Structure 1
Amino acid sequence: MTITFYRTALCPRCFLAKRALDKIVADTDITVETVEIATTAVSSWRNGIRMIPALKIGDEILSGVLLDEQRIRRFIDQQKEDASA
């Protein structure tokens, strides 16, 4: 599974989300691709990203003011479940 993580280097909320995401995927086969939206704003918008931090798996997007470990874990688990169904 590949997760695309949309963020900007200046965002403290993105830093916290990245730390939680790294913890979750540490011992898994999940790949994380990081996209810096400051340099890819147009393509990020076309990919449905309206707020950061944001995670995208397939066509599904999780974004919010605060993406804590629990929300990220639920999102990943739901996408795994949907993929296996």
Structure 2
Amino acid sequence: MARKTLYELTHDKPEIEIEEVDIVTNPLRAWKDGVRFIPTLKCGDKTLSGVFLSREEIQDFLETAGR
């Protein structure tokens, strides 16, 4: 759900680059990046995570983290 929403919200924003990291094959990288929960969105030192991330939460994160 979060993945779909993220791609929908960034479809017309080429300045936003999305990188997906598979925590099964890259657990150390995920841990070093501060990923403790799935899903997690990260931009710089800011993160957003939760069992269910609403469209509004993701949109707010993109707007505030991108500043």
TM-score by length of structure 1 reads 0.73
TM-align CA RMSD:
0.9
1:27-53 deviations in Å (ceiling 9; x for gaps): 012111111111111111111110010
Correspondence 1:48 to 2:9: no
Which segments of 5 or more consecutive residues in structure 2 lack a partner in the other structure? none
Displacement of 1:79 in angstroms is 1.4
More strand by share: 1
Question: Partner residue of 2:12?
Answer: 27
Paired-residue identity, %:
36
SS at match of 1:65: coil
Moved over 6 A (4+): none
What count of residue pairs does the alignment treat as equivalent? 66
Q: Which runs of 5+ in 1 are unaligned?
A: 1-15
Match of 1:62 in 2: 48
CA deviation string 1:2-59 (max 9, x = no partner): xxxxxxxxxxxxxx11000011001012111111111111111111110010010011
